[in-house]
A and B are shown apart, each in its own frame.
Chain A
């Protein structure tokens, strides 16, 4: 069925006129209609607009036009502003917000002919690792385990990853501030790419922590991610941290192989609490790369263990500043008060969920007079050491291989009592955000409960090509063809 095609296969099928863009979009809209009531992967479905975009794609295809994503249906994380389509960031405070403009990344996708099925669910303001903090309800992972408990898809890009895994979309946009592309991709058995900081414009993406936020694609194959990133990435003068450098042919890089590459194994990623099956999968991944001609090298990233604590100062500090704009005056929800201050305080108390309020308050505290040096300035110095670790490692190796997450998907409601327990999900993904380096998660195997586990490839800044090359070799070797129980075409 059409939903089982990869993005590249669907593109080639459209070019051959094996099927039309309308048929392709309708197949995915039908899957959304059938599965979304259960999975809650979409907050907003824009079926009518999607069919109009597909009809236009068919007209362009008939006219012999060719664009990289012409007629391909995608899900858009509801953190990207979409002109005329409600953009909530998973928050009550933005529930009524309809942007008058299009984010640069989604504008680039539309330029290349993509069809937007709707806006994907996420943790509120992308703050979370489970999708449990969305004001629009949790997302269910399409993968299931024997005890029948509903599992989380990971987060914050949980709706994007669930939609792609369940074959409701060929691919999706996502964002990654501390692991929000790679962790849910790993939990949902798909591929997720966080490019180098600066590769994709942040303009029009609801800001969380601006020095860490980076957009990227999720899809079912490494090459699909490469094609999507090729469209998403472009220099944008409207983002002062956008990188003014050419966008390489990422898809071509997927065919490079790893012959002669040096792959680093950071010894600090190994700890006593790591489940044996994750350790075994990591060793298997290294063996696959060695068999394909890579040299495996032991390296040290000595400040790895401080990555998360650093993150939980830097990210809330930036968030407390970024989220100051939600004051009930210019957009979003307002709760009235007797005076201006009371209006601000009630609007923000009712508009933000518990985790967002917590992070704003931590951020406010670490930036407040008397504590700035002890917390924020110290964290920025540790961040410099984390970057130095990567710089030193990349003097010896071309890329690093690690597990993506310390566990497989857990059940909805687990890890909810202790914020720090939830934060530990991102222990392997956060350092890449601190240093701004690219990272890819590739599904590599199943755990004992039949749930997917991912391996993470980290690369040098702006060397996504090597990351894709390594990822493609892992993908071929792993031959991960397992399917989630809940997916398009399977009766509920």
Chain B
């Protein structure tokens, strides 16, 4: 599989990363280099193998469904790039 610049722009959009048209061709080359190298996994026989999702060889713990934290809006908002009162502020979404 080989990525063309249009596909690179589609991936960039999915990843929410702005890519200039001029960058897309170069990125396509870099990503294709990595993907071509990854293709070697196709030679591994994985028939009947269950996927391994993590390195922790343990069952997930359950915890009581209760509030354990909160009531600290100033700390939560302390790093906000922009805020209005007790809210994060973003560019207008609805006209």
Contact = CB atoms under 8 A, between A and B. Distances in A.
A338 B78 CA distance: 25
A365 B3 contact: yes
Query: Which residue, of B31, B44, B72, B75, has the highest number of chain A Cβ atoms within 10 A?
Result: B44
Contact of A378 (B15, B37, B46): B46
B22 interface: no
Query: Which residue, of B17, B56, B63, B79, has the highest number of chain A Cβ atoms within 10 A?
Result: B17
B84 interface: no
Consensus secondary structure, chain B interface: loop
Consensus secondary structure, chain A interface: helix
Contact of B41 (A197, A243, A309, A340): A309
Interface residues of A, number: 73
Interface string B57-91: 11011010000000010011011111000001011
Given A211-B53, A361-B31, A382-B44, A332 B18 contact: no
Interface string B1-32: 10100001001111111110000000100110
B80 A419 contact: no
A396 interface: no
B38 A312 contact: yes
Given A378-B46, A385-B46, A461-B57, A337 B91 contact: yes
Given A96-B79, A337-B91, A383-B51, A327 B16 contact: yes
Interface of A: 96-98, 100, 197-198, 211-212, 237, 240-241, 243-244, 303, 305-306, 309-310, 312-313, 320, 324, 327-334, 336-346, 348-349, 352, 357-358, 360-362, 364-365, 368, 371, 374-375, 377-385, 387, 418-420, 433-436, 461
A361 B8 contact: yes
A334 B49 CA distance: 44
Nearest to A386: B52
A39 B15 CA distance: 34
Contacts of A360: 15, 17
Given A211-B54, A358-B30, A306 B17 contact: no
A339 B41 contact: no
Interface of B: 1, 3, 8, 11-19, 27, 30-31, 33-35, 37-38, 40-42, 44, 46, 49-58, 60-61, 63, 72, 75-76, 78-82, 88, 90-93
B46 A418 contact: no
10 contacts: A240-B60, A324-B16, A330-B79, A357-B17, A368-B14, A371-B1, A382-B41, A385-B44, A418-B33, A436-B56
A387 B11 contact: no
Contacts of B31: 358, 361-362, 365
Nearest to A364: B15
Contact of B55 (A349, A357, A436): A436
B16 A361 contact: no
A197 B52 CA distance: 14
B93 A329 contact: no
Contacts of B60: 240
Contacts of A352: 17
A233 B16 CA distance: 36
A342 B12 CA distance: 12
B93 A331 contact: no
A359 to B, nearest CB: 9
Nearest to B55: A436
Contacts of B54: 197, 211, 241, 436
B15 A382 contact: no
B17 A384 contact: no
Contacts of B50: 381, 384
B11 A383 contact: no
B37 A420 contact: yes
Contact of B91 (A309, A336, A365): A336
A221 B94 CA distance: 60
A345 B90 contact: no
A461 B55 CA distance: 10
B12 A361 contact: yes
